[in-house]
Amino acid sequence: MELKAGYKQTEVGVIPSDWFAKKISSFAEICTGNTPPTNDLNNYGHDYLFVTPADLGTEKTIRNTQKKLSSKGFNISRKYPKNTILFTCIGSTIGKCGISDKELTSNQQINAIFPNDFFDSDYLYYFLNLFSDRIKKMAGETAVPIINKTDFGEISITFPPTKTEQTAIATALNDADQLITQLEQLIAKKRNIKQGVMQALLKPKADWDTKKLGWIGSFKGGNGFPTKAQGEKNQQVPFYKVSDMNLLGNEIFMTNSNNWISEKIVNDIGAHCFPSNTIVFAKIGAAIFLERKKILSMVSCIDNNMMGFVVDIHTNDLRFIYFLFHSMKISLYANTTALPSINGKDLSDIDVKVPKKPEQTQIAQILTNMDTELQALEQKLAKYRMLKQGMMQTLLTGKTRLVKPNSN
């Protein structure tokens, strides 16, 4: 493919002609952390941040850690100055990275990178973040994948010719990060408010009726799903598995499925079709303890690891019952065998207190409005994250320039 004028091909892709592609070891020192002896409790305390892979990957700046060191432990560790980039180099979490805003240290699963004065640390952080999957492949597929610091130093980084342009790119990405963080914090706040409101509204009142769940609706398990019937997309009936509860768009109502079947296949395999507005959840295995409950948006089939609850909507408000389910821990009713499972009869015998349908509807409307607001915010967050990813792809490869070439 012919290169666009002003660009050149490098081992890590096409970049502007005035950009560089150099190995990390040519412009940065790399150090692997260590762990102070754990048999001496005097090494650990509350004073100094001690970073492990579990502390990386949620935010760019490392502000807190699960473990901390005392002065003694810190003094026998390898100290990293402010603006050090930390990159997980071993295990399943290879690629998680962060940057220090103060002096700290790390364990031996992390490579610390100290770039020279020419290099903007934030720029390097964002580059490693963007290409973390590519870097992870270097570790191979061994039982315990690892990238030692020598191999890590051989990784090539592309960057603009001036620190000014590096900083401009990092600043733009940092601004995007701040918007995302602010929105994440707002969503967390709104979720906490909703949780408090839900607890208050669902708290039984003196005039509420005591009913068994089996009087409010009926429980039924799903069907086996033959492998030969799986994988179809352009059919009429979704056949949901537990994993489909995680799909984008299935936050409350199940609309997306990895498997669809024809009405003929429904009949051939003897699958039960659940009506729209059925509340579904996991009934076998560890997924029970995730306490996920969703609502079917259309006539659907579910596999035998799931259970459906068909609500009597003549005397109950569907959304109220859905919120009631969310306030319950149905995992408490799972058996304690090696493979936990839930029995529909046991759930049918659970006593709950509910108001008359008009009050159910009023309560459900308040909570639904809060859910609608949360969904809008979460969609906005997803959009911001996609925009930031696009910014990283164009800014860190020079496709978009924030500083004119040779302007510095």
Q: Mean pLDDT over residues 163-181, rounded?
A: 95
- Cα angle vertex 190, ends 188, 191, to 5°? 65
What phi, psi does 250 have (nearest 5°)? -105, 30
Higher pLDDT, 12 or 347: 347
Q: Mean pLDDT over residues 45-50, rounded?
A: 92
The rounded distance, in Å, linking the Cα atoms of 370 and 321 is 16
**Domains present along the chain, CATH in parentheses:** 7-160 (3.90.220.20), 162-203+361-400 (1.10.287.1120), 209-354 (3.90.220.20)
| Contacts for 258 with CB less than 8 Å, ≥ 6 apart | 241, 243, 244, 247
Position 240 pLDDT exceeds 80: yes
Which residue is associated with the tokens 């969904």?
Answer: 375
pLDDT confidence tier of residue 148, bands split at 50, 70 and 90: confident
What phi, psi does 318 have (nearest 5°)? -55, -50
Model pLDDT, residue 1: 59
Q: pLDDT exceeding 70 applies to what percent of the chain?
A: 99
Q: Mean pLDDT over residues 153-169, rounded?
A: 93
pLDDT tens, position by position, 353-404: 999 999 999 999 999 999 999 999 999 999 999 999 999 999 999 999 998 8
- Helix residue spans in 203-285 (DSSP H): 213-216, 263-269
Position 335 pLDDT exceeds 80: yes
- Answer for the pair 123, 170: CB distance below 8 angstroms, yes or no: yes
pLDDT tens, position by position, 19-28: 999 999 999 9
Q: Mean pLDDT over residues 177-183, rounded?
A: 94
**Average pLDDT in the chain:** 92
Q: Mean pLDDT over residues 54-72, rounded?
A: 89
Enter the tokens of residue 6. Answer: 């002003």
Q: Answer positive or negative: Cα dihedral of 260, 266, 271, 272.
A: positive
- Helix residue spans in 203-328 (DSSP H): 213-216, 263-269, 318-327
Which residue is associated with the tokens 């940057």?
Answer: 99
pLDDT tens, position by position, 250-297: 999 999 999 999 999 999 999 999 999 999 999 999 999 999 999 999
Position 407 pLDDT exceeds 60: no
Enter the tokens of residue 266. Answer: 């429904």
pLDDT confidence tier of residue 408, bands split at 50, 70 and 90: very low
The rounded distance, in Å, linking the Cα atoms of 28 and 118 is 10
What phi, psi does 247 have (nearest 5°)? -65, 145
Cα distance from N-terminal residue to C-terminal residue, the chain: 32
The rounded distance, in Å, linking the Cα atoms of 339 and 341 is 6
pLDDT tens, position by position, 88-146: 998 888 889 999 989 999 999 999 999 998 999 999 999 998 888 888 887 777 778 88
